[in-house]
Chains A and B, each alone.
Chain A
Amino acid sequence: MSAEAPRRMEPPVSPVAEPFWAATRERRLVVQWCLDCDRPVFYPRDNCPLCLGTSLEWRDCTGEGSLYSFTVNHLSSNPTGGEGPFPVAIVELAEGFRMMSNVVNCPLEELRVDMALSVAWEELSDGRNYPVFEPRGGTA
């Protein structure tokens, strides 16, 4: 991570997502799991968006995934703290859900759709950590 302080907009915590953000304090990535459909539910909700059921439990994720898509943003300030254009990504997690984040520790020209990624963590001001992703096995 860059030495410069991150300038990230710190995510608000919705009540249903409290366990997600609590786990990030221990640098654990967790996801809701619908026990009826046997599938992940993300973003966190009170109901499974497939069956509307409420049998949802939190499970740990491997933190491994791939780069579903990305865009290099030339217009906004870099939330990860670096200078210049930065990648916004949709990451496909191994458990079968997608989340928006950033890819870090990867030169822009080495970004590739479907490349293997692992979760990394960026400290937020209140003790939470924001899940970002880096090329699997560390710096590309």
Chain B
Amino acid sequence: MSATSIRGASAIVGVADDASPTGQLELSGRALEASMIEQALSDAGLDIKDVDGVCHAGSSMQLAEYLGVHPRFTDSTMTGGSSFEVHVEHAAAAIAAGLADVVISVYASTPRGDRARAGGGGGRRGGPPPGMGPNPGLEWEMPAGIRLPMGAYALAATRHMAKYGTTAEQLAQVAVSTREWATMNPKARYQDPITIDDVLASPMQTSPLHLLDCCLVTDGAGAFVMTSAERAKSLAKSPAYVLGVGTCHDHSMISQMPDLTTTAGMISGPAAFSMAGIKAGDVDLLMGYDSFTITALLHLEDLGFCAKGEGGPFAEDGKLGPGGSLPMNTNGGGLSYTHPGMYGMFLLVEAVRQLRGECAQRQVPGAEIAVAHGSGGVLSCMSTIVLGTEAALS
């Protein structure tokens, strides 16, 4: 299949997400997923009976059974936080090839609610989920006492600081700009502005990452619906066309990452941009996975918004915040809005809403091209999705 047959052939036509300033949601599990699917389908003007493709980062087979759907396209791809970007990529290809007409993907995770329901005890930590195969990390990483996932990102940050002179203040600015956006999202966990000093004064977790360099742990859920560009025209909302897709992973364990300062976004980003026919300068809005401040900073470099090593200076003048030249993570991101574990779904939902002009106070004026860039594992799997409005399609 050629790239041109994917570009513009499909669109995200329905989205939903939920999170709360309390960090906790009422529903959980399949009930929460079903609620998200229903909302996303309703957003699109579609019905569950229209669905013939199902994606899930756990088991698409179990989800489809629960929903009573018999999909002819199924995808259980699980690449951590970037799973949902990969779902878009696969669904875009499937729709372009005629393998499916209406594809859904959904995510729900409620670590806070689960803990509360279990009586306040600690949740499950460490070890592979069942069925994930052997975990070499138990033999080759965990004995060194690394705290995961944050320790992995800290190792990347230390190396980046040593190699390029990136400062703690520059990393902190990413959190500060992101919080500025969160002040305009009534569902965000944290909505009060913070300063660089606040970030630096927050407790050191695993150096050089302070508490406010790290994403939240909150309940959250979301879903999207995709269909063909042709069918999208007749649906309820303006389509967010899939213009470009690209994915690459280059390790699973952080000690196997080829270069701690360069992610596989160097592959996924240019692939997606090239398919879309865009350059970094054309992007109106970047939803760049911010599990940690260093994560977002690496995306800026690897997607070509600045040169390798220049992420720190690029971020430091606030151009990522409201009114800046590169609005990033306008929902408040994983750092301030919500982060239930695999955050990539929320990147897509916000990107679509921005392209539709639905973001009220935090709306990026005239947004035509948005990039959702997911990062899964420990800087392991990068997946880049370029979305655009009708105007960007031609």
A119 to B188, CA, bound (A): 47
Chain B, residue nearest A113 (CB): B162
Chain B, residue nearest A49 (CB): B256
Report if A8-B260 is in contact (Cβ < 8 Å); known contacts: A74-B203, A74-B207, A88-B151.
no
Task: Chain A residues near B138: list those with CB within 8 A.
Answer: 11-12
B134 located at the interface, meaning its Cβ lies under 8 Å from any Cβ of chain A in the complex: yes
A60 located at the interface, meaning its Cβ lies under 8 Å from any Cβ of chain B in the complex: no
Q: Which of A14, A79, A85 contacts B139 (CB 8 A)?
A: A14
Residues of A in contact, count (CB < 8 Å): 35
Cβ B206 vs Cβ A17 within 8 A = no
Cβ B145 vs Cβ A69 within 8 A = no
Report if A71-B260 is in contact (Cβ < 8 Å); known contacts: A14-B136, A79-B145, A89-B144.
no
Q: Mark A71-87, 1 if CB is under 8 A from B, else 0.
A: 11111111100000110
Report which residue of A11, A71, A90 has the largest number of chain B beta carbons within 10 angstroms of its beta carbon. A71
Q: Which of A11, A75, A112, A114 contacts B147 (CB 8 A)?
A: A75
Task: Chain A residues near B82: list those with CB within 8 A.
Answer: none
Cβ A79 vs Cβ B159 within 8 A = no
Cβ A73 vs Cβ B141 within 8 A = no
Q: Mark B129-168, 1 if CB is under 8 A from A, else 0.
A: 0000010101111111111000100111111001100000
A24 located at the interface, meaning its Cβ lies under 8 Å from any Cβ of chain B in the complex: no
Task: Chain B residues near A14: list those with CB within 8 A.
Answer: 134, 136, 139
The minimal Cβ–Cβ distance linking B227 to chain A, given in whole angstroms, is 40
Stretch at the interface among A31-39, A50-58, A98-106: A98-106
Q: Mark A22-34, 1 if CB is under 8 A from B, else 0.
A: 0000000000000
A77 to B142, CA, bound (A): 12
Task: Chain A residues near B140: list those with CB within 8 A.
Answer: 11, 43, 99-100
Cβ B159 vs Cβ A8 within 8 A = no
Cβ B139 vs Cβ A73 within 8 A = no
Interface band, chain B: 20 to 34
B42 located at the interface, meaning its Cβ lies under 8 Å from any Cβ of chain A in the complex: no
The minimal Cβ–Cβ distance linking B263 to chain A, given in whole angstroms, is 15
Cβ B155 vs Cβ A90 within 8 A = yes
A99 to B255, CA, bound (A): 6
Task: Chain B residues near A76: list those with CB within 8 A.
Answer: 145, 147
Task: Chain A residues near B255: list those with CB within 8 A.
Answer: 90, 98-100
Cβ B158 vs Cβ A69 within 8 A = yes
Cβ B156 vs Cβ A73 within 8 A = no
B205 located at the interface, meaning its Cβ lies under 8 Å from any Cβ of chain A in the complex: yes
The minimal Cβ–Cβ distance linking B262 to chain A, given in whole angstroms, is 13
Task: Chain B residues near A71: list those with CB within 8 A.
Answer: 146, 151, 154-155, 157-158, 206-209
B204 located at the interface, meaning its Cβ lies under 8 Å from any Cβ of chain A in the complex: yes
Q: Mark B354-383, 1 if CB is under 8 A from A, else 0.
A: 000000000000000000000000000000
Chain A, residue nearest B204 (CB): A74
Cβ B163 vs Cβ A113 within 8 A = yes
Cβ B207 vs Cβ A13 within 8 A = no
Besides A90-B255, A114-B162, 16 new A-B residue pairs in contact (Cβ under 8 A), listed by A number: A9-B142, A9-B143, A12-B138, A43-B136, A43-B140, A69-B156, A71-B154, A71-B208, A73-B146, A73-B147, A73-B151, A74-B207, A79-B144, A79-B145, A113-B162, A113-B163
Binding site for A on B (CB under 8 A): 134, 136, 138-147, 151, 154-159, 162-163, 203-209, 254-256, 260
Selected A-B contacts with CB under 8 Å, 7 pairs: A9-B142, A43-B136, A68-B260, A69-B156, A78-B145, A88-B144, A100-B254
Q: Which 6 A-B pairs have the closest CB atoms?
A: A113-B162, A71-B154, A79-B145, A69-B159, A72-B207, A100-B255
